[in-house]
Each structure stands twice: as structure tokens, then as C-alpha cells.
Structure 1
Amino acid sequence: MATEQQSRYGDFLDRVRRISNLRSAGMLLSWDQQVMMPEGGTPARSKQLSTLSALSHELLTADEMAADLDALEAADLDADQRAVVRELRREHDRAASVPADLVEEISEVTSEALPVWQESKEADDFDAFAPTLERLIELKREYAAHVDPAADPYEVLFADYEPYLDLDTAERVLERLRERLVPLIEEIQASDVELAAPFEGRYDDETQMVLVRDVLDTLGYPWERGRLDTAPHPFMSGTQFDARVTTRFKEDDPLDALTAVIHEFGHATYQLGLPAEAYGTPLGQSRDLSVHESQSRLWENHVGRSRAFWELIAPTVNEHLGTAATPEEGYEAANRIYPDNLVRVEADELTYHMHVILRFEIERDLIAGDLDVRDVPEAWNERMDAYLGVRPETDAAGCLQDIHWAHGSFGYFPTYSLGSVLAAQLYAAAERDLGDVDARVREGDFDPLRDWLRERVHRHGQRYTTPELVEEATGEAYTADHFLDYAETKYGELYDL
């Protein structure tokens, strides 16, 4: 690259890093709001977040950024530099189409929506949240119309979270899961097999906290670059230098917090595995939500719900909970199917996807205007009945359970199932390359798997599009085959089908 082009690319990267740092600051403020901020802090916090969002938007859409992108797209760049320009071009074009005042308003309304959602959920009062939800939907429709007035608004919103796997692909995957998993769940329900439940009892928060911290130690979570806290809805937040995880505790179900922590550990492991030298640029950022979710679901399900893992941690669990579960009983308990469970984040590995499909269908109808906000509780309950044979008795356990709509995150939910599918594909490729991964898990040696994921996925950041990354990591195109084979084999064996 010529000296003049090198200088221009350097100036361009400086702008990119400033945008990234503003976003990271906003992310930290959001983490604080959900974990530590006093209840009365919302008015100031919403203004702080909206200001950071507006500043980021201004930098991204500035004339200097547009000029840099135009010049660099015509320059002689290497592959990594072209990837950075590609990612910023996409972001710039989308952001430039949206007025700054709309971006600021969306940020402010979503920040204000968080305590409204929390209070509505605690009071089991959907009507109290409905006006806020209506406003968020209006704002997101307006946003989508600015980005691409000719496109399906929901497709535009979905592309914010997964820009390279199109919505048609997502719908095909969800349809395959529905076609294969619903009959499998029905077979399990008809089975006479009753899996072990050795952890029935009452366990206080302090006991569970010590347990999950020990499990994070076993997995190799680096405390010098993270922390564990509680939040109403478990999440991970951070960068390759500071990736924090949260969980929540249920007195009568210690496995809920355990699986949540392992799930968020998977997210944190991805963040911490991103290249440090590329911090602040797309090469040091994760590849969208389907890939991110693949990392959490791989650790939660393919490791944390495996027989090998329970052979490793059963003594630790028993020591903290005062139980006497065998590894096989722990494995069975971690894999019991609960079709009558109402809550997505507490759902088992199979029925989980029915929860995702339900939310996908409802939010798509909301954005399209085919469903009125006031009718969400009934639409939710009808689908729960149709897909899982159960109806929530309260909206708190039904349509108010998730935080995502309060964040304005419409189009997010499909990535949970897309990520689960990719997790199985990645794990199959790791087993092909590493041999008996379970044998290493049984010994508490997680480095080979973590190193494989870092080499095949983490270190690339956003160098590749999602389909390209899947090909690079696994040697084949994105497919649901591995997940479906894994699910039918595992649960067929467990339930003697």
C-alpha cells in the first residue's frame, strides 16, 4: 500500500477505534444498570447512554468516514484491511440512512424501558409495559424504513444481529427444527423412562454462588479479566480484556444457575479469545450473534450437559449441595426434558427451540402490524399451548419473562437456535480434529477444545462473513444436520426411544 494510502488507512482506523470505545463505554454503563446501579439512577443513565449512542452515530456517519470508505474501497488493500472496510461500509451505510435524533431517541427509550419492564414483570402487569412496547415497535419500524424502505422491516431488523445468514435461511432452519423436534419431544413425553432428579431441595443463594464459582474455576475462567454477578436476566458483557458474566439463583433448582453460568462462560470465552492487538476494530470483534450463541451453547450443552462433564464435577456439586448424586444421576438431571416448563432460560435443550420459534413468530407479527401489542399475552399463551401443551398462568411467566423487547432487540431471537445448530456443527468438527474430546473433558482438560475454538473461530474476529467462517472452521457449509443427529441420538438413548 502506498504511503498516502497507509496514512489514510491509519486515520480511518483511529475513527473506527473511537466509535468502538464509545460503544464499549455504553456497554459498561448498561452492565452497571442491570447489575449494580441504584434503582433511582435511570433518568441520568438513559441520558448518558443516548449521548454515547448519538456520538457514535455521528462519528460513523461523518463525511470524513464516508470519504475514507470511498477512497479505501478503491485502494490496494490486503485481505484483513478489506474485511475492516467491508464491515464499516455496511455499518456506515445503514447508520447514515437513519437520522441521528431517531438513534438518540431509540437509545433513550430503551434505557427507560428497562425499569418499566422489571416493574411490570414483578407486578405481573403486562398492561403497564404495553405502551412502552408499542413505542419501541414504532421506533423500530421507523428505523427499518430508513435503512431500506423497500424491504420487509423484520428482515432489516434481523440483519442487525445476523447480517450474513439471511432470514430465509433462518426460517428454513427453524422449520427443520420444528419438524424434527416436535415428534421427538412427543416421543419423550410418551416414554415410560423417568430420569433421575437428585437435586430436589432448597439451596440458598450463597451456597449456589460458591458452587458456580468453583465450576468457573474448573472451566478455567480468568478472574483477572472477568467477574461474576447476579442480574434479573443472565448475560455476558465485555471485551477481550474484561468479559463479565452474570447468573441468577432459583432456590429449588441449582442446575438453573449452573447451566446459566456455563452458558455465559461460553460467551466470555469467545470475547476473551478475540485478538488483543485488533481491539477496537472489526478484526477484534465477535462475528455477530449466531456465532456468539454457538460458543455459549457449545459450552452449556455439548460440554456442560455431557456425561463426561458430570463424571468430572459430580463430587464438587455434591460437596456444595450436600447431595449424593452419582455422575450418571447428575447427567440425567441435567438432561431431563420439561415440556411443561414456561421459561425459556430454564428450558431443557430440546423444548428451548419451541420457545425461540414462538418468540420469533410473535415479534415478526408485531413488526408487520399483524398483531396488536394488547393481544400479545393471548397470542403467547395460545402458541405455548400449541407447541408445548402448557399455558402460563401469569404474564410474568409468559410474555414478560424476557428482557429483549425492553432492549428493542427485535430480530434477535432466531440467533439462539441458529447458534445452537452451529454449536453442534463446530463440536462435530472439533471431535473430528481432536479425537475423543469427552476423554479430555472427563479429566478436566479443557485447553484442547478452547484452543481449537480460538484457532478456528475466535482469532478471526470479523475477518470472514458468517458462511465463510463456518466453512473455514468446519470444512462444510452451515447445516442443521449435526444438531438434529446429535439431539436424536442423545435423547433417544436417554429415553430409550
Structure 2
Amino acid sequence: MATDAAGADAESAPEAYTELLETYKRVSNVQNSAGLLSWDQQVMMPEGGNPARSQQLSTLSSLAHELLTDDEVGERLDELEDADLTDERAAVVREIRRKYDRAVSVPSELVEEISTASSEALPAWEEAKAEDDFSTFAPHLEKHIELKREYAEHIDPEKDPYEVLFEDFEPCLPLEQAESILEELRDTLVPMIERIRESGDDIATGAFTKEGEYPEAAQEELCRDVLSTLGYPWERGRLDTSSHPFSSGTMFDARVTTRFDESDPLGSLLSTVHEFGHATYNLGLPDEHYATPLGESRDLSVHESQSRLWENHVGRSKAFWNVLLPAFKEQFPKAEDVTLEEAYEAANQVYEDNLIRVEADELTYHLHIIVRFEIERALIAGDIDVEEVPEVWNDKYEEYLGVRPETDSEGCLQDIHWSHGNFGYFPTYSLGSVMAAQLYDAAEADIDDLEGRIEEGDFEPLHEWLTENVHRHGARYETNDLVAQATGEDFTADAFTDYVTEKYGDLYGIDA
């Protein structure tokens, strides 16, 4: 018997629902195609291909917008407003309604202009970063800010523009709730990091020295090994390199990228585990709901919770290093004398001089996020000008992290997000870390001896728990409801603050 995207008899679905879903599938497939072209642009496209790629992505963006905002979509949504729908179908309609209401507010010309600006900004950012020349990227950043202010004005002229932009990435969490969680992180982490630094304890001394080189080829082989060990299905994915690690795809094709620094073997390794978390979320979405809201992830905070869970709660754990260390030593003979305790400490060292977000330790990472959050809010509000960004960035790094970038490449040009015009994205990284701790706590409570399973290289129970409690639901539940369904608790920072207080208290011998 035929079924629809909600898994119910297709014949029982209202005609308006069936027609709405068919249109949405076309929108989704256009967007997925654009995503694949974007992946190619960042990974494999020849250097000279950008003029054509810019037009291709702009056209697909405009086409998806036109399909979603067609009058018939609005009519079908209106017809279904008071329809008697199953819970899953009601969730599908809710998600399409949210996207439709936002999209219909924005003119197609503006959508196309934003897409073109993004395609043109990406190579400018790459050049600016390579040449340490912020002025190359500055006009593109200015253009993005102008366009995104206009975009926010179209959607809701009465709202704080930044709040509107934040809703693009996290539509189900109020910005006020997000800010409250971020404030709790700051209040917990700043004094904790201070106590760690005052302790003078360099726990990772001698473990993975940065003297000498860890060849890129060996790092890549180790990363592929780790992906296989974690259960990455190569028939539905691939590993490549890019200037900024990212993951892209669907439940049928979920690709990851990493980058290599021959002086830092942990950077590529933890980035790969992080991106695996994103990919395994996509891969865990139900195949039968492809191209529908029930086959889509629940926005970026939840997506980031999956990557941070695998990176931090698994990848930085002693249990995981018990599995990994023999393979690590095989690839890098210079580490032959490293003990399990030393490896664990090296993976969890709190750095004093780290400038790069994606290379940051688990604690200072969130101060990197706060810097970006504060700067982009000020940019959108018009409180600072683009030309001031390098100095403001450097000042905030000195204030919050005690270090000052010497170049813009290691400062305000290090992230790709603003080249895409993604303002409001950064808070989801910290929100995801907080959510990861709460989800992992719940998984530990439900899975018998989870740490022991990981120590033996058995990751399937954790995979199954996450698929059952998070992945398989797609976008059926809103964020707070999904967390409550999975953990039995409201979404708060409590599990995260408890986790870092205990873990780093033990590592550094500091008081809670």
C-alpha cells in the first residue's frame, strides 16, 4: 500500500496535502542540488570556474524561492489550516508554513542577489585569507550586511534584524533563551579557565609535540581509519580536504571534509570526528522521508549537538583513545612512547595562546563564539563599521582570550561563514555543545556501560540511541520538544556546566 511522507496511507491524505508535499519535494531537490554545487566549489572546482558557478547557484536559489512562494503553495497551506491531520502531517505542514511565510516576504530578486553575493564573496575571502588582506574581503562583507538588513526588514520590520537572521538557523529557540544559555556558559567558563591558567599545569607536555612533522598522507590515512572505526558508511560518503572543514549532504550522500597541518596531528583528527557527527545525523534521517521535512534535520543547534557530541564526549574521551592510540602510533612512530593518560590529556589541554576557533580546546572554544556573536550583532545593528572589524576583533581576543592576533588571516578572516552571509549562525555552535552534554547524559543513563562499549570500539549502541531519539524524527519536533522527548528534561545548560566542571576539575586539579 502506498504511503506518504508521514508514513500513513497516501490515499487518506487530503489532496491539498499531497500536492503541497510534491511541490516541497521539488524545492528540496533544487536546494540539495545547489548544496552539491557548493560542495564542489569548495572542494574540487577548478579555480577558474567561479563565474559560471556563481550564476548556477544564483539561478538555483532563485528557482527554489519561486517554487516555494508560488501562490498555489499558499492556497494549499490555507486549505490545510483547520484540516484533521495526523501529528506527523501536521508537523510537515507547520515546517512548510514557516518556510513559506518567510520566503514569501522576500522578493526573488533579493534572494538571487544574496546568492550571487555569496558566490562572489567566497573566492574573495579565500584570496584575502591567503594574502592576509582584509581589504580584499571588506567590500563583500559590507555588501552582505546591506543585503541581510534588507532581507530582515522584508521578513519582520518590527523585529531586531539580528533576531530575524538568527531564526534562519535556529527558528525554534527564542533568541532570549539562547542568550541566557550563552551567558551561563560565559559565567561558568571564564573563571574556570582563569583557575586552570593560574594552576600553571601544562598537562599535555611531551605527548604530541609540535616539533617536527606529522605527514599529511599519514594524517589522512588515520582519519579514514577513524571514520571506518566509528561506522561511517563509505558507500554513502567521502572524505576530502577544504580550506575550512565542513559536512554536506543527505541521508544518501553525506560528505565530510577536513584540513591538515603537519605540525598538529590532533587538528585534522578532531575536525574529522566533528564532521562525522554532522554526517551521521544526515545519514540517520529516514530514507523514506527524503526531500520532506520529516527527512530533514532539526536546524543547526541540534545538528551541532551531534558533531560536538562525537568530537568532545567521544573523540576527547579516554575510552576512545584506548581504541585510537595503537593506530595513531602506527601512523606516527614518534608517538610510540605516548601513554593512554598522556594522549587523553593532550586531547583535552586548555591552550593559553590559541587564536583559531576550529583548533580551540573544548573550553576556550566558547569564548571564540562570543567574540563572533558580539561583532556580528554590532555589524548588523550598525554599531561598528566593516573597516573596524580587524581592530575590534583583536581587542576582544585580547580581552576574552588573553591573546592578540598578529594577522587578519589568523584573526577576523579565519572563518568562512561571513563569506556566505551567515549572520546568526555562530551561536548555534555553543548551543549545540550544551545540547550535546544533555543528550550524552541521557544516552549514558539508557545504555548499559556506554563508556565500556566505547573503550572496546563498539559505537553501535550510541549510534542506535541517537538515531532512535534524535535522527529518525527529522523536523517533526521543535527544538525544545525534541530535547525533552530525548532526555526527559527541559533544554538547559546544567548538564554541560556539570560535565566541564567535573572533567576539567579532575584534569587540572582545580576546585569546582
Same fold by TM-score, threshold 0.5 exceeded? yes
Distance in 1 between residues matched to 2:340 and 2:257, nearest whole Å: 26
Structure 1 residue 165 corresponds to structure 2 residue 173: yes
Distance in 1 between residues matched to 2:19 and 2:427, nearest whole Å: 37
Q: Choose the corresponding residue for 2:189, options 154, 165, 181.
A: 181
- Residue by residue, what CA displacement relative to the aligned partner does 1:148-205 show, whole Å, maximum 9, x if unpaired? 0010000000000000111111111111111110000011101132212422230121
Count of residues in correspondence between the two structures:
497
Q: Choose the corresponding residue for 1:306, options 317, 335, 344.
A: 317
Contact 1:130–1:373 (8 Å) recurs in 2 = yes
Q: Give SS of 2:123's match.
A: helix
- Residue by residue, what CA displacement relative to the aligned partner does 1:108-151 show, whole Å, maximum 9, x if unpaired? 11011000000000010011111110000000000000000010
Residue type of the partner of 2:473? Answer: H
CA-CA distance at 1:403 after TM superposition? 0.2
Contact 1:266–1:298 (8 Å) recurs in 2 = yes
Distance in 2 between residues matched to 1:293 and 1:3, nearest whole Å: 37
- Residue by residue, what CA displacement relative to the aligned partner does 1:49-102 show, whole Å, maximum 9, x if unpaired? 010001100011001100110011221111000000000101001000000000
CA-CA distance at 1:413 after TM superposition? 0.2
Structure 1 residue 420 corresponds to structure 2 residue 433: yes
Distance in 2 between residues matched to 1:59 and 1:339, nearest whole Å: 50
Residue type of the partner of 2:417? Answer: H
Contact 1:5–1:75 (8 Å) recurs in 2 = no
Q: Percent identity?
A: 65
Structure 1: gaps spanning 5 or more residues: none
Label 1:4 to 1:427 Cα distance change in 2 as closer, same or farther (>3 A).
closer
CA-CA distance at 1:2 after TM superposition? 11
Matching residue of 1:447: 460
Matching residue of 2:99: 91
Q: Choose the corresponding residue for 2:450, options 434, 437, 449.
A: 437
- Residue by residue, what CA displacement relative to the aligned partner does 1:308-342 show, whole Å, maximum 9, x if unpaired? 11111111101101122111111111001113100
Structure 1 residue 25 corresponds to structure 2 residue 33: yes
Matching residue of 1:327: 340
Structure 1 residue 140 corresponds to structure 2 residue 148: yes
Distance in 1 between residues matched to 2:264 and 2:397, nearest whole Å: 22
Matching residue of 1:389: 402
Matching residue of 1:205: 216
Residue type of the partner of 1:237? Answer: S
The residue correspondences of 1:230-249 to structure 2 (distance < 5 A) are 230-249=241-260
Q: Give SS of 1:405's match.
A: helix
Distance in 2 between residues matched to 1:276 and 1:217, nearest whole Å: 21
Residue type of the partner of 2:495? Answer: H
Matching residue of 1:488: 501
Label 1:42 to 1:7 Cα distance change in 2 as closer, same or farther (>3 A).
same
Structure 2: gaps spanning 5 or more residues: 1-8
Matching residue of 1:290: 301
Label 1:99 to 1:336 Cα distance change in 2 as closer, same or farther (>3 A).
same
Contact 1:54–1:100 (8 Å) recurs in 2 = yes
Contact 1:29–1:49 (8 Å) recurs in 2 = yes
- Residue by residue, what CA displacement relative to the aligned partner does 1:373-402 show, whole Å, maximum 9, x if unpaired? 000001101100110111000000000000
CA-CA distance at 1:5 after TM superposition? 5.5
Residue type of the partner of 2:362? Answer: E
The residue correspondences of 1:39-188 to structure 2 (distance < 5 A) are 39-188=47-196
Distance in 1 between residues matched to 2:357 and 2:315, nearest whole Å: 18
Distance in 1 between residues matched to 2:422 and 2:202, nearest whole Å: 38
Q: Give SS of 2:476's match.
A: coil
Distance in 1 between residues matched to 2:294 and 2:106, nearest whole Å: 25
Distance in 2 between residues matched to 1:428 and 1:23, nearest whole Å: 35
Structure 1 residue 479 corresponds to structure 2 residue 492: yes
Deviates more, 1:115-124 or 1:331-340: 331-340
TM-score (normalised: structure 1): 0.99
Distance in 2 between residues matched to 1:35 and 1:148, nearest whole Å: 36
CA-CA distance at 1:4 after TM superposition? 8.7
Label 1:433 to 1:340 Cα distance change in 2 as closer, same or farther (>3 A).
same
- Residue by residue, what CA displacement relative to the aligned partner does 1:435-490 show, whole Å, maximum 9, x if unpaired? 32110000000000110000000000000000100000000100101101100110
CA-CA distance at 1:223 after TM superposition? 0.3
Q: Give SS of 2:417's match.
A: coil
Matching residue of 2:352: 339
Structure 1 residue 9 corresponds to structure 2 residue 17: yes
Q: Give SS of 1:237's match.
A: strand
Distance in 2 between residues matched to 1:174 and 1:78, nearest whole Å: 36
Residue type of the partner of 1:402? Answer: D
Q: Choose the corresponding residue for 1:229, options 219, 237, 240.
A: 240
User: How large is the Cα RMSD of the aligned pairs?
Assistant: 1.1
Q: Choose the corresponding residue for 1:411, options 413, 424, 429.
A: 424
Q: Give SS of 1:463's match.
A: coil
Distance in 2 between residues matched to 1:350 and 1:26, nearest whole Å: 35
Distance in 2 between residues matched to 1:463 and 1:138, nearest whole Å: 34
Distance in 2 between residues matched to 1:321 and 1:141, nearest whole Å: 50
Matching residue of 1:218: 229
Q: Give SS of 2:404's match.
A: coil
Structure 1 residue 402 corresponds to structure 2 residue 401: no
Distance in 2 between residues matched to 1:329 and 1:185, nearest whole Å: 20
